Amino acid sequence: MQFNNKTVALIGSIKLNSTTAAMATDFKSIPIIDISPLLAKCDDPKMAEDPGVSEVVKQLDQACKEAGFFYVKGHGVPQSLFNQVKEQTRNFFHLPYEEKVKIKLTPATGYRGYQRIGENITKGVPDMHEAIDCYRELKPGAYGDLGKVMEGCNQWPQDPPKFKDMMEEYINLCTDLARNIMRGIALALGGSPYEFEGDRAGDAFWVTRIIGYPGKSSENSQEKPTHDIGCGAHTDYGLLTLLNQDDDITALQVRNRSGEWISAPPVPGTFVCNIGDMLKIYSNGLYESTLHRVIISSPKYRVSVAYFYETNFDAAVEPLDVCKVRVIGEAKKFDRAVYGEHLVKKVLTNFVY
Ligand SMILES: N=C(N)NCCCC[C@H](N)C(=O)O
Ligand SMILES: O=C(O)CCC(=O)C(=O)O
Ligand SMILES: [Fe+2]
């Protein structure tokens, strides 16, 4: 099924109150939320009283309950940088393998660097993508044994020139943006704007994956995909993902509660945002970390840059008190996790090495 941008926007603007949201039929598309009113007030301690903020918060709450996915516009990241990040990513992956493998990811590099097509594994199946993985750098010994696996320096290519500077600038903007969206989500959950600061995510860890997907049986590609799963079905690990995807290829799919795969077509200039496993726990399951995957069906090479905003590396995550009281039903067994343990467990099973 295909949607044009107008359809997505229209469905996104339908307002439901919380009762109807719970009874709503399964989502068939993903809403677009203009967060500029939230960003205008996000440093004001009284932001919750602002009508513009309240409207955004209502839309975030509905999107997080229904789909766990939403597009964000009015995000304030300059369009030139937003697009340049994808163009330079395309330029990097276009280089010969000998050049790319100079920054190869290995356990010794703290799982930072370049992986070729088929080296990342999801549920036992090699993914048909290549990528550069980056993580916020940890000071040696910072989290003791918990952090050891992830210690290391990010590996940046020499070519394209200025790639590191560009990505670091972009990552800093994504970090600020994600913190501000999380203030809106904290309000949506019925908490203070600052629930996800301090010991929870005041020193947020982050992950960035710079990704390229080969075109389907394209003649001039370096490597032909052996199947059409660009990235197998998975959930993201932390709080909130900000995905900057190529403008003209539909490849990302999101699973709804009926098990149907719903496309998340490109909406130029927007981030695709989705909830990670830690936010699912904080929200006591009110918000789901939705399964998603990438299917290769276009002959064209596709790039995407995924920024993952996480909790503090050593955060012990359990449902917020405001969310415990909101879940009806008898003696629910609350989930718990230490974020760093969750990440390390994933990373250690994600690779062929
Ligand atoms: N940091 C995050 N969220 N990365 C998502 C990668 C998903 C694929 C990975 N092989 C997996 O199976 O999880
Ligand atoms: O490339 C995409 O569209 C999504 C990638 C993704 O889901 C991930 O890296 O976690
Ligand atoms: Fe993902």
Examine residue 65 and state whether it is found in any structural domain, yes or no.
Answer: yes
Judged against a pLDDT cut of 60, whether residue 145 lies above it is answered with yes
| Positive or negative: CA dihedral 37, 76, 82, 128 | negative
Run of H or E including 240: strand 240-245
Atom of ligand 1 nearest to the CA of 343: 1
- With cut-offs at 50, 70 and 90, classify the pLDDT of residue 335: confident
Mean local confidence (pLDDT), 2-20:
39
Rounded to an integer, the average pLDDT of 82-110 is 98
Under 8 Å CB-to-CB from 41, ≥6 apart: which residues?
47, 50, 52, 53
Residue-wise pLDDT for 56-81, tens only, equals 999 999 999 999 999 999 999 999 99
**Residue 145 falls inside a structural domain:** yes
pLDDT one-digit tens code per residue, 261-318: 999 999 999 999 999 999 999 999 999 999 999 999 999 999 999 999 999 999 999 9
Instruction: Decide if pLDDT at 153 tops 80.
Output: yes
Higher pLDDT, 21 or 263: 263
Q: How far apart are CA 5 and CA 101, in angstroms?
A: 38
Query: Does the beta carbon of 237 lie inside 6 Å of ligand 1?
Result: yes
Q: Is residue 19 part of a domain?
A: no
Residue 14: what pLDDT? 37
Q: Measuring from atom 8 of ligand 1, which residue has the nearest CA?
A: 122
* Per-residue pLDDT at 43 exceeds 60: yes
Residue nearest to atom 6 of ligand 1 (CA): 236
Q: CA 150 to CA 145: how far, in whole Å?
A: 10
For 191-243, the pLDDT digits (tens) are 999 999 999 999 999 999 999 999 997 655 678 888 999 999 999 999 999 99
**Site to substitute for ligand 2 among 90, 243, 267, 277, most atoms within 8 A of C-beta:** 243
pLDDT bracket for residue 12 (50, 70, 90): very low
Q: What are the strands, taking DSSP E only, across 21-175? A: 32-34, 69-73, 113-115, 121-122, 125-126, 130-135
Report pLDDT for 324: 87
Instruction: Pull the structure tokens for residue 276.
Output: 């990670």
Q: Can you tell me whether residue 46 is helix, strand or coil?
A: coil
Strand, coil or helix: 153: coil
- Say how far apart CA 67 and CA 287 lie, in whole Å: 9
The ligand placed nearest to the CA atom of residue 305 is: 2
Q: Whose CA is nearest to atom 5 of ligand 2?
A: 306
Rounded distance from Cα 330 to ligand 3 centre (Å): 32
In a domain, 10, yes or no: no
Supply the mean pLDDT for the chain: 91
Query: What pLDDT score was predicted for residue 7?
Result: 36
Residue 30 lies inside a defined structural domain of this protein? no
Please check whether residue 207 is in contact with residue 134, taking contact to mean a CB–CB distance below 8 angstroms.
yes
How many structural domains compose the chain? Answer: 1
ipTM score over 0.90, yes or no:
yes
Q: Domain range for residue 289? A: 41-350
Domain contains 7 = no
DSSP at 27 = P
The string of DSSP codes covering 155-197 is ---SSSTTHHHHHHHHHHHHHHHHHHHHHHHHHHTTS-TTTTS
* Residues in contact with ligand 2 (CB, 6 Å cut-off): 209, 211, 231, 236, 243, 245, 252, 292, 294, 304, 306
State the Cα–Cα distance between residues 100 and 250, nearest whole angstrom: 26
- Evaluate whether residue 17 is within a structural domain: no
Q: For the domain that residue 271 is a member of, what is the CATH number?
A: 2.60.120.330
Measured CA to CA, the distance from residue 325 to residue 46 in angstroms comes to 24
Distance from C-alpha of 253 to C-alpha of 217, rounded to nearest angstrom: 20
pLDDT at 30 over 70: yes
| Domain-embedded: residue 8 | no
Which atom number of ligand 1 is nearest to the Cα of residue 120? 10
